[in-house]
């Protein structure tokens, strides 16, 4: 089962864990907005429809590659402040290594393959967040 959700609503970890189920092994990742360099707000924009299709494709790839019973990607968009949850990823499998690898794959590839645009507010000034070389390197390790 694959579940994809892109929303401006806060991510409810209790509900997401309940929905993720228990299939032997469940690996999860939750990302939060950081206050690096004095960031007071993060605005996340996306293309509705295109973003969900990209996330669905990643979940399908992970499900096939690791024989997952479940894959979940919940991503928040809109204005957020430090400490807000921005992403929840879960991978369910019969065994822990598959779940752990699939969860790492999903978050690494999500950072480079999903069409999201981030704008930070620092000291009253806005700046677009550029793609990082470290994100590209993390995603590249999953190439076949």
Q: What CATH number did the domain enclosing 38 receive?
A: 3.90.1170.40
Query: What is the per-residue pLDDT for 103?
Result: 97
- Domain assignment present for residue 140? The answer is no
- Domain assignment present for residue 77? The answer is yes
- Domain assignment present for residue 34? The answer is yes
- Domain assignment present for residue 63? The answer is yes
pLDDT digits (tens, 9 = 90+) for 89-111: 999 999 999 999 999 999 999 98
Query: What is the per-residue pLDDT for 133?
Result: 78
pLDDT digits (tens, 9 = 90+) for 25-81: 999 999 999 988 889 999 999 999 999 999 999 999 999 999 999 999 999 999 999
Phi, psi of 78 (to 5 degrees): 95, -165
Longest CA–CA separation in the chain, Å: 48
Sheet with 25-32, side-by-side order of all strands: 2-7, 70-76, 85-93, 25-32
Burial, 135: exposed, middle or buried (Cβ in 10 Å; 0-12, 13-18, 19+)? middle
- Domain assignment present for residue 56? The answer is yes
- Domain assignment present for residue 141? The answer is no
- Domain assignment present for residue 144? The answer is no
Look at the chain and report how many structural domains it folds into. 1
Q: How far apart are CA 16 and CA 90, in angstroms?
A: 9
- Domain assignment present for residue 135? The answer is no
Residues 6+ apart with CB under 8 A from 82: 32, 33, 34, 35, 39, 40
Q: Which two tokens stand for residue 138?
A: 């993390």
Does 135 have pLDDT greater than 80?
A: no
Parent domain of 16:
2-129
Quote the pTM value. 0.92
Average pLDDT for residues 117-141, to the nearest whole number? 85
Q: How far apart are CA 120 and CA 62, in angstroms?
A: 30
């Amino acid at each position: 089962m694959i579940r994809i959700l892109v929303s401006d609503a806060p991510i409810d970890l209790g509900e997401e864990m309940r929905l993720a189920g228990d299939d032997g092994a469940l690996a999860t990742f939750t990302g939060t907005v950081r206050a690096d360099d004095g960031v007071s707000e993060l605005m996340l924009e996306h293309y509705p429809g295109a973003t969900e299709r990209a996330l669905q494709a990643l979940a399908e790839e992970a499900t096939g590659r690791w024989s997952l019973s479940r894959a979940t990607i919940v991503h928040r968009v809109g204005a957020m402040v430090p400490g807000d949850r921005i992403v929840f990823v879960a991978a369910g499998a019969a065994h822990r290594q598959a779940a752990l690898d699939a969860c790492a794959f999903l978050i690494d590839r999500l950072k480079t393959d999903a069409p999201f645009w981030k704008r930070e507010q620092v000291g009253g000034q806005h700046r677009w967040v550029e793609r990082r070389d470290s994100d590209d390197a993390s995603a590249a390790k999953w190439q076949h």
